[in-house]
């Protein structure tokens, strides 16, 4: 006797990194698994799958979202950006924040890095002028390697460069 899964499938239309897709997905499929397994964008990482570590952070309609806490069907019609979308396309260049992470040794194993970058990408630097505000912003992302100091330095450098550029 075969027991069948009580799983329904739903069609979703999602724009991810500027590409529109239509997929039939199980209703219980997490957005994180959709991004990684269905779409194949594996730069978004799963560190806890209970919404704590922030490694799976992506942008959904401009907001930073923990993709392990969202169902794919909830993202129907949404625009999603992932870490793969940060560096300028068609060149070897990095985004200013990616470059600042590289310059300041702000990543070691790199597993949490995408989450930090997406958290940072989702905010307006003008709202985080005080270092303590940056610390609070970043405190939703766990890093086990760096001790955070170089990450804070990298953010300060990237954002001060961007202010000077304006």
Partner 1 sequence: MIPDIDDHIRHSTRHIGRSVPRREDRGPLTGRGRYVADIKLPGMLEVCIVRSTEAHARITEIDTSQAEALDGVVAVYTGADLADVSTFPDYIAYIGAVRQRPLATDRVRYVGAPYAAVVAVDRYVAEDGAALVAAGTIYEPLPTVADLAQALAPGAPKLFDDWDSNVSVDVAPHKPEVDRAFEEADHTFTDTYWSQRQTGLPMETRGVVAEVTDGTLTVWSSTQSPHMVRTAIALMLGVPEPQVRVIHPVVGGGFGTKTHTYPEDIVVPWIARRLGCAARWIEDRAENLVASAHAREQRHDVEVAYDDDGAIGAIRCTSTLDMGSGEIFMPGTAPVFVTNACITGGYDFPNMQARTVGVVTNKTPAGAYRGFGIPEGAFVMERIIDRVARLTGTDRVALRRRMLLRPGQTPHVMHGGGRLDSGSHTESFERALETTAPALERARTRHADDSDVRVGVGYCNYVEPTSPSYHLTTGQWGGHDSATVRVDPDGSVRVAAGLSAMGQGNETTAAQLAADALGVSPEQVTVVLGDTERAPYGLGSWGSRGAMMLTGSVLMASERLLDKARRIAAHLLEASPGDIVVSDGAFHVAGSPQPSVSWADVGTTAWVRTVDLPDDIEAGLETSAFYHPEHLTHQLDEDGKINAAASWSNGTHIAVVSVRVSTGEVRIEDFIVVHDCGTVINPALVEGQVHGGVVQGIAGAMYEHFQYDSDTAQPRFSSFMDYLVPTCAEAPPIDVDHIESPAPDQPLGVKGCGEGGTVGPPAAVAGAVSDALSEWGVDLTECPVTPVAVRAAIRAAEAAGRGPGATR
What count of other Cβ atoms lies within 10 Å of the Cβ of residue 153? 16
Cβ atoms of 160 and 125 within 8 Å: the answer is no
Judged by CB under 8 A, does residue 27 bind partner 1?
no
| Comparison of 4 and 164: residue with beta carbon closer to partner 1 | 4
Judged by CB under 8 A, does residue 151 bind partner 1?
yes
Classify the C-alpha dihedral 56-63-133-98 as positive or negative.
positive
Q: Which residues contact 136 (CB under 8 A, 6 or more apart)?
A: none
Judged by CB under 8 A, does residue 40 bind partner 1?
yes
Judged by CB under 8 A, does residue 117 bind partner 1?
yes
Judged by CB under 8 A, does residue 72 bind partner 1?
no
Of 10, 23, 43, 76, the one binding partner 1 (CB under 8 A) is: 43
Rounded-to-integer distance, Cα 60 and Cα 146, Å = 27
Judged by CB under 8 A, does residue 36 bind partner 1?
yes
| Comparison of 147 and 166: residue with beta carbon closer to partner 1 | 147
The secondary structure of 49-69, three-state, reads CCCCCCCCEEEECCEEEEHHH
What count of other Cβ atoms lies within 10 Å of the Cβ of residue 161? 13
Cβ atoms of 71 and 30 within 8 Å: the answer is yes
Shortest Cβ distance from residue 135 to partner 1 (Å)?
5
Looking at 8-16, 70-78, 142-150, 157-165, which segment touches partner 1 (CB under 8 A)? 142-150
Residues that bind partner 1 (CB under 8 A): 1-5, 7, 26, 28-29, 33, 36-37, 40-50, 52-53, 55, 82-84, 86-87, 94, 98, 101-103, 105, 107-114, 117, 135-136, 138-152
């Amino acid at each position: 006797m075969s027991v069948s899964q009580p799983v329904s499938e739903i069609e979703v239309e999602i724009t991810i990194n500027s590409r529109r897709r239509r997929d039939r997905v199980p209703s219980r499929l997490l957005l994180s698994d959709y991004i990684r397994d269905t779409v194949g964008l594996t730069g978004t990482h799963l560190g806890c799958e209970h919404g704590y570590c922030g490694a799976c952070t992506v942008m959904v309609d401009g907001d930073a979202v923990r993709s392990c806490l969202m169902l794919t069907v909830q993202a129907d019609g949404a625009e999603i950006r992932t870490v793969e979308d940060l560096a300028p396309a068609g060149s070897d260049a990095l985004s200013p924040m990616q470059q600042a992470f590289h310059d300041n040794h702000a990543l070691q194993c790199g597993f949490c890095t995408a989450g930090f970058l997406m958290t940072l990408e989702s905010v307006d630097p003008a709202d985080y002028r005080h270092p303590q505000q940056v610390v609070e912003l970043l405190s939703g992302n766990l890093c086990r390697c760096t001790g955070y100091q170089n990450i804070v330095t990298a953010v300060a450098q990237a954002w001060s460069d961007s202010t000077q550029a304006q």
